[in-house]
Structure 1
Amino acid sequence: MSQYSVGQGDVTVTLSWKDSNDLDLHVKCPCGTEIFYGNRKCSSCSGELDRDMNACYCAGICSRGDLCSPNAAIENVFFKPAKSGIYTLSVVYYSGPKGNGGSQSNYEVRVSTHANKNVLVINGHVESSGPRQCVEVGQYEDSQGIGFLQHVERNFPSWRNIRIVDDGCWENVLKKAWYQVASRMSTFHGFENNTPENFRTLTT
């Protein structure tokens, strides 16, 4: 990334590879929008694709040199500010073989957050045809204030059809149960019991 002027945000996703083939980075952001060369921005999630390389091949002599490289190509998507939620990352072998590229390209996808304080690196390969032409390489969950349903969708796929009960019934049940055991727990473990008295009379 140091070779090119690219954006960096609260979440930055960078694809890099080392041949002349045209690979594409796709990032599905928390709102469901997919960012890629055909849809470079998502206003809802403040995301933008600002680098799309190797769409052309000029045998090593390119008048737009910063958009074509046979050994240091990248694509870059950044979110600023980033929305909490799940980011799904995919790599597509879009065009090739060409130049020094073959029917397979190795890639690295790097996710960096908050000025590179946290980094996730995923390595793999894509192929010119077949099931590995388009590869979902993984997901990144930005958990700053992530909602409960988003957490469930990411970590418990079989629970995706659950709904939130917002009538307070179960919350009151738990509060009343806690009131009944709090004094014993505080005595046993030696902590102070600050359970509100109104927990005892809540309606369930």
Structure 2
Amino acid sequence: MPTRRIAVTGSAEYQALGAGGTLAVDHWDALTAQIGAELSPAHAALFAEPQRDAARGEIDWYAEGSGTAARADTLPEAEREALLARWHAMREEIRALAGRIGSRPDASSRFMATLIQAALTLPAPEARNLWRIDGRPVLVAWGHERAGVAAAAETLTGRMAAADVPMQILPPPAPPVPPGPRLWPLVAALAGALALLLLALLFAWRDPFGLLRPQESACVASPEDLAALAGLREASEREGALRRELARLVTDAAARRATCAPVPAPTPVAPPATAPEPPRNADLERAAREGGQTGQLQIVLAWEGNSDLDLHVTCPNGARLFWGARRICGGELDVDANAERQMSSPVENARWATPASGTYRVEVMNYAPRGQNAVPFRVTIRQAGREDRVVTGIGRAGADRQPVTTVEVP
């Protein structure tokens, strides 16, 4: 997960592109994984990672790299043209990849090809959204157009509006022929009309080509098939209602569990001669297996599944320790699960060897739901001189950082 912010764009200035109600920027992980696997990691690194902030109405763009980040329109002309040429060459290679993916028979490949085509769109002028980091091109505001000029859905799916038919100018009608003194033209017209009528009646009576016979239906569903289809539809609706009710009950039970007060520990009859061993905690052992270190203050976040939950801790001085700032205010986030590396038992570990005194605020964010919109989690707090404390909660998709608890360090 890139940790270096290089640019910020506003939703009022740019309009996101996509297809089928899905925006390309919401599929950065899948797009870069597909491009990196079928072309190269350098092609995938073209696209900076978007982080949308709904409260500010802006998108933060992150990229990897340690060198100076320079926007293309601020470079000398020769360097700018070289950077643009490299971006154009890589764009054509990605566009050709989208064509190959789109020709595959499955619907998911065709949908991915459409999103890749949308991602290749940059707001004009493109030099303002092209950056150079460590000598390579990086795009921000990709998959966007300036507000008011974004491509219509027909353009994104390959359909084009019909061309207007030019108006044809006809000459004025010929003047009527003045009637002559003879009646034979009228008689001839009546005779012709009578002959046509007789032919039509003969055609309708004999119907030599069978044009007037009723056509048989090519395929007629039987009443049994229609009844079975109706029963299947009703069963599917009942199953959907039961699944929704089950999900509601599970969510309510988890929420009630999170609000329960912890059971107070019993008062010991007599203090032991030596300090007791801390109680066994499976989440602390999970963090230790993944390389998590300990200290005078250790905060561990654990959950189940492939969702990406993030641990955020705000220190007394206002600085925030999270995946984007892993070493700050004397602490370190040394284990980060399900972002760059998937874990079977996901865990995140933050620790302070000697924490500063004051209040530490603990928050959790469901950063990437991956099909789990409500993820139960556990936060274990181990503090020197105090008993371990476990707080539970639910990480909800679409929510910002959710407050969990506070830690007081004297």
- Which consecutive residues of structure 2, in runs of 5 or more, have no partner in the other structure? 1-283
State the Cα distance separating 1:127 from its structure 2 match: 1.1
Aligned-partner Cα distance in 1 for 2:343–2:331: 25
1:126 is aligned to: 395
State the Cα distance separating 1:89 from its structure 2 match: 0.2
- Which consecutive residues of structure 1, in runs of 5 or more, have no partner in the other structure? 57-66, 144-204
Aligned with residue 75 of structure 1, among 348, 353, 365:
348
1:34 is aligned to: 320
State the Cα distance separating 1:111 from its structure 2 match: 0.7
Aligned-partner Cα distance in 1 for 2:351–2:338: 19
| Matched AA of 1:69 | M
Matched, 1:137 2:404: yes
2:382 is aligned to: 112
| Matched AA of 1:129 | G
Q: Report if aligned partners of 1:126, 1:134 keep a CA contact under 8 Å in 2.
A: no
Aligned-partner Cα distance in 1 for 2:386–2:357: 17
Matched, 1:11 2:297: yes
2:308 is aligned to: 22
| Matched AA of 1:7 | Q
Answer 1 or 2: higher relative contact order, Cα 8 Å, separation at least 6: 1
Aligned-partner Cα distance in 1 for 2:330–2:387: 20
Aligned-partner Cα distance in 2 for 1:95–1:128: 8
Secondary structure in 2 matching 1:138: strand
Aligned-partner Cα distance in 2 for 1:32–1:112: 21
**Segment drifting more, 46-55 vs 133-142:** 133-142
Secondary structure in 1 matching 2:295: coil
> Identical aligned pairs, as a percentage?
28
Report matched runs for 1:1-204 at 5 Å: 1-2=284-285, 3-42=289-328, 45-56=329-340, 67-70=341-344, 72-98=345-371, 102-114=372-384, 117-130=386-399, 133-143=400-410
Structure 1 runs of 4+ aligned residues shifted over 6 Å read none
Aligned-partner Cα distance in 2 for 1:27–1:134: 10
Aligned-partner Cα distance in 2 for 1:112–1:20: 26
Aligned-partner Cα distance in 2 for 1:8–1:93: 25
Q: Compare the two structures and name the one with the higher helix fraction.
A: 2
| Matched AA of 2:408 | E
| Matched AA of 1:82 | P
Q: Report if aligned partners of 1:97, 1:128 keep a CA contact under 8 Å in 2.
A: no
Aligned-partner Cα distance in 1 for 2:346–2:375: 12
* Cα deviations by residue, 1:132-152 (Å, 9 ceiling, x for unpaired): x42110111112xxxxxxxxx
Q: Report if aligned partners of 2:361, 2:407 keep a CA contact under 8 Å in 1.
A: yes
Structure whose alpha-carbon radius of gyration is higher:
2
Q: Report if aligned partners of 1:51, 1:74 keep a CA contact under 8 Å in 2.
A: yes
Q: Report if aligned partners of 2:291, 2:334 keep a CA contact under 8 Å in 1.
A: no
Aligned-partner Cα distance in 2 for 1:89–1:46: 16
Aligned-partner Cα distance in 2 for 1:117–1:86: 16
| Matched AA of 1:109 | V
* Cα deviations by residue, 1:154-199 (Å, 9 ceiling, x for unpaired): xxxxxxxxxxxxxxxxxxxxxxxxxxxxxxxxxxxxxxxxxxxxxx
